[in-house]
Structure 1
């Protein structure tokens, strides 16, 4: 497969996998939990869900950075995850604070995917060099 075919196909697959990661870890969560004794409210996501999602996204960014340009991986993953998260959050939040969350998700995803995909590319370049 040529690079001109691999790049758009890779971007499409990466976007689909990113949306899939959101759906698998966070998309099915629908509500907040209230502790009956303390009245404390938590949610909508549990810590293990967020950790699983972050680890999955890190793996996708690393694989993407290995095979594709990090300058493609970071924006594709950032847009795919942020749009998916924001669409769901906007549909379930009456306060309007979902927009603040969307900005935080955008920045965090952009920084994380850029760092991980660049690191993967750097490792690939170093391992590809012949030993001297």
Structure 2
């Protein structure tokens, strides 16, 4: 039986960063500021982006250490969101929002990665 070789961690991390940025831009980055000067996201865009980011963490956790998958998804997503928020907000609250996104992205990513690793471990245990 032939075993497939996993891609290198660096290549996988770069791909995760690129896909995260692409997904953010496609589903959240092109939303237009509302007339009051704020920024609104379409609910379907938020949902789809969340599902795709979850899939990236799951896939990444299968190929590289889970912590790397979480970092490679959470950091660029937070950075993109923060840059966009800073560009339209002059009150300084964008920093608070960015911190909340950072905590949520890392927390959610860590939970997804832990569940993914747990399922993989369980499948290996049952198969053995």
TM range (shorter): 0.7 to 0.9
Alpha-carbon separation, structure 1, partners of 2:125 and 2:116: 15
Matches within 5 A, 1:117-128: 117-128=113-124
- CA RMSD after TM alignment: 2.2
Pick from 72, 81, 86: which aligns with 2:82? 86
What is the TM-score with the length of structure 1 in the denominator?
0.83
Gaps of 5+ in 1: 35-40
- CA offset at residue 111 of structure 1? 0.5
Correspondence 1:24 to 2:22: no
2:97 alignment partner in structure 1: 101
Matched pairs, number: 125
More displaced stretch, 110-119 vs 122-131: 122-131
1:38 alignment partner in structure 2: none
- CA offset at residue 66 of structure 1? 1.5
1:82-127 deviation per Cα after TM superposition (whole angstroms, max 9, x unaligned): 1111111111212221111100100000001111112112212222
What is the TM-score with the length of structure 2 in the denominator?
0.85
Alpha-carbon separation, structure 1, partners of 2:70 and 2:54: 11
- CA offset at residue 33 of structure 1? 6.2
Correspondence 1:52 to 2:48: yes
2:70 alignment partner in structure 1: 74
More displaced stretch, 103-112 vs 84-93: 84-93
Alpha-carbon separation, structure 2, partners of 1:88 and 1:19: 12
Distance 1:2 1:111, change over 3 A: same
Gaps of 5+ in 2: none
Deviation above 4 Å: which 4+ runs of structure 1?
none
Alpha-carbon separation, structure 1, partners of 2:60 and 2:70: 9
Q: Tell me if structure 2 keeps the 8 A contact 1:74–1:110.
A: yes
